Amino acid sequence: MNVNDKKISGVVKILKQAVKDFKDPSVTMVGKKYRDPFLVLISCILSLRTKDETTIPAAERLFKLAKSPSKMFSLDAKKIEQAIYPVGFYRVKAKNILGICKDILEKFGGKVPENIDELLTMKGIGRKTANLVLTEGFGKLGVCVDTHVHRISNRLGYVVSRNPNETELMLRKSLPKRYWIEYNSLLVVWGQNVCRPVSPFCSKCPVSRFCSRIGVNNAR
């Protein structure tokens, strides 16, 4: 399946204007503020299974303690836990953060790797996080697919997939590369506010004329 270039161009143009009324996703906010791949990576870890309104304050508390792999690794797990609470699975994330910092220091010369395969070797980093680090941290091409991107891409009819990993692979083949970096943040914001998982606001969606509404049984 190929994404119609004219169709996706129209959707991206409209969404870029529409999302100006909403806040950026938490990781995008960190990327814009700090321009630091390491801090983007840490914010990605914190954001997993956690709402943005919890992620951002937790990230800022942690960044006040440490902003580099070496300084972060010097903290004990308890201190990190206290800083990031109440993000989801905060104890597990504290351990993963320390493990990631150790890997960065020992395996990658103290710098976050710019290669998706190397990023995926670190415990706690999945494809979503790795792609976000590439796009938001380094400004490099990547296709980050979370639950919102997966859902909306299927609703629009761009892919027919069962999970985010399948969606990513399909979009890598069919989505024009010039949209790869911004595609995630646009659809995440839209998914959080308009194209909801249950009963999306189709009646006020400005891209409804481009949408196949696949799988939408009830809408507002």
Domain finish residue from 137, 170, 185: 137
- The answer on 126 and 49 residing in a single domain is yes
pLDDT in tens, 154-175: 999 999 999 999 999 999 998 9
Query: DSSP character for 133?
Result: I
For the chain, what is the domain count? Answer: 2
CATH for 43: 1.10.340.30
pLDDT in tens, 54-78: 999 999 999 999 999 999 999 999 9
- Give the confidence band of 8 by pLDDT, cuts at 50, 70, 90: confident
| Per-residue tokens: 7 | 């169709």
* Segment 105-124 mean pLDDT: 97
Tell me if residue 146 falls in helix, strand or coil: coil
Has residue 218 got a pLDDT over 80? yes
Whether 53 maps to a domain, the answer reads yes
- The answer on 121 and 40 residing in a single domain is yes
| Predicted pLDDT at 2 | 58
Burial status of residue 84 (CB atoms within 10 A of its CB: 0-12, 13-18, 19 or more): buried
Alpha helices in 19-146 (DSSP H): 26-34, 37-47, 52-65, 69-73, 77-84, 90-107, 116-119, 127-132
